[in-house]
Homo-oligomer: A and B are copies of this chain.
Amino acid sequence: MRTPAPAAPGAAEALRTLLDGLEVGPLGEEIQATIAELYPLCRSITGDGLRASLKVLQRTAPLTLHEVPTGTPVLDWVVPREWNLRRARLWAPDGAVLADTDVSNLHVLNYSVPFTGSVSLDELQPHLHSLPEAPELIPYRTSYYKDAWGFCLPHAVRQQLRPGPYRVEIDTTLQDGALSYGELLVPGLQQAEVLVSTHCCHPSLANDNCAGMAMCAVLARMLLGLRLRYSYRFVFVPGTIGAITWLARNGSTAQRIAHGLVAACVGDRGRLTYKRSRRGTAEVDRAAVHVLQHAGADYEVRDFTPYGYDERQYCSPGFNLAVGSLTRTPYGEYPEYHTSADNLSLVRPASVVDTLRRYLEVFEVLEGNRTYQNLSPRGEPQLGKRGLYGALGGQSHAQARQMAMLWVLNQSDGTASLLDIAERAKLPFPQIRWAAGALEAAGLLAEVSA
Docked Cα-Cα span, A305 to B410, in Å, equals 9
Which interface residue of A306, A307, A412, A425 has the most chain B CB atoms within 10 A? A306
A378 shortest CB reach to chain B, Å: 4
Determine how many copies of this chain the complex contains: 3
Whether B413 and A378, one on each chain, are in contact in the complex, defined by CB atoms closer than 8 angstroms, is: no
Q: How large is the interface on A (under 10, 10 to 19, 20 to 34, 35 or more residues)?
A: 35 or more
Whether A385 and B145, one on each chain, are in contact in the complex, defined by CB atoms closer than 8 angstroms, is: yes
Docked Cα-Cα span, A240 to B380, in Å, equals 8
Docked Cα-Cα span, A379 to B320, in Å, equals 9
Docked Cα-Cα span, A223 to B162, in Å, equals 60
Q: Determine whether A363 belongs to the interface, using a CB cutoff of 8 Å to chain B.
A: no
A131 shortest CB reach to chain B, Å: 13
Q: Determine whether A247 belongs to the interface, using a CB cutoff of 8 Å to chain B.
A: yes
A307 shortest CB reach to chain B, Å: 6
Q: Which residue of B lies closest to A425 (CB)?
A: B305
Instruction: Give 25 CB contacts A-B under 8 Å.
Output: A75-B379, A76-B376, A76-B379, A145-B382, A145-B384, A146-B390, A240-B380, A248-B379, A303-B424, A306-B380, A306-B403, A306-B407, A307-B403, A316-B378, A316-B379, A316-B380, A316-B410, A317-B377, A317-B409, A317-B410, A317-B411, A318-B374, A318-B377, A318-B379, A319-B378
Whether A412 and B317, one on each chain, are in contact in the complex, defined by CB atoms closer than 8 angstroms, is: yes
Q: Determine whether A313 belongs to the interface, using a CB cutoff of 8 Å to chain B.
A: yes
Q: Determine whether A243 belongs to the interface, using a CB cutoff of 8 Å to chain B.
A: yes
A94 shortest CB reach to chain B, Å: 34
Whether B306 and A382, one on each chain, are in contact in the complex, defined by CB atoms closer than 8 angstroms, is: no
Contact digits for A291-334, partner B, Cβ 8 Å, 1 yes 0 no:
00000000000010111000011011111100000000000000
Docked Cα-Cα span, A212 to B75, in Å, equals 55
Whether B243 and A379, one on each chain, are in contact in the complex, defined by CB atoms closer than 8 angstroms, is: yes
